[in-house]
Chain A
């Protein structure tokens, strides 16, 4: 775990550095103003937006990391599947908490630097999504919420990734192909098509409303809903991971 995380932050640092240099250059030259760097939504002005998305994606991929090697080595050394699973969960919690903290620090540092470069913005993912809330609570509260939000989001991302890895480990070749091809096909093609044809788009509506509710947008912008949702997702996928793991056998 240490190495990938270190590499991630090193790359992140390089990108940020590069970004700040570019920002510094473009801001001072009028024609290049309004350059947006690493943005997940459109924002006016030059700046860094939503860096945490990168972390979430990174963790998702980490969750996808080699279950096989890890499982084999621990089984070779007489560790029960229960212990392997619990150990993994604890590691996941540490990593998510750690990265949430580091990201918060990067955010604060980035803001600080950006504040000295006129026209450059540095906006976190959380602020972006729950912009409305900033008016309701103080800055410190926002920061803490931001950290908690990050932690929950990362946890969800990494447990989903972990479950996918174990599930794929358990599947034989044919099932793997069927799932890898079939699931996206169904979700992205069959479901929307059927929905439009049979339910007149009702399903999508229901989904959108549920998501909105789950992430706290039904009543202003409430991030705690989102956190709970993410924690629930994490719990569900962690449980699924255990179910997949308890019958895992050492294969060649």
Chain B
């Protein structure tokens, strides 16, 4: 969690939760930490944490069980992966192209770099 990161904190919170779901830390149909726990852990305002969680609710990733808390939706993993693949292009590819242009790298150089990266 980085306050210097450009993106708003609530977005980062949502991402962290998603990472947790992808990595198996929060299995489907289990409970995720409460807004209080999240805000205490990251030392952020509870309202911000709530905003992040609501993002996940809107995205169908978690849902609220009355009286119990927030639970990971079935199929959340799949939803997240799908979303992330979409975002991959925006976040990585566009930036890569931009940086590459700045450095004067050609597409061929990029492709060979990618191959090198995958073989690691």
Q: Are A and B in contact, CB atoms below 8 Å, in the complex?
A: no
Q: Which residues of A contact B (CB under 8 A)?
A: none
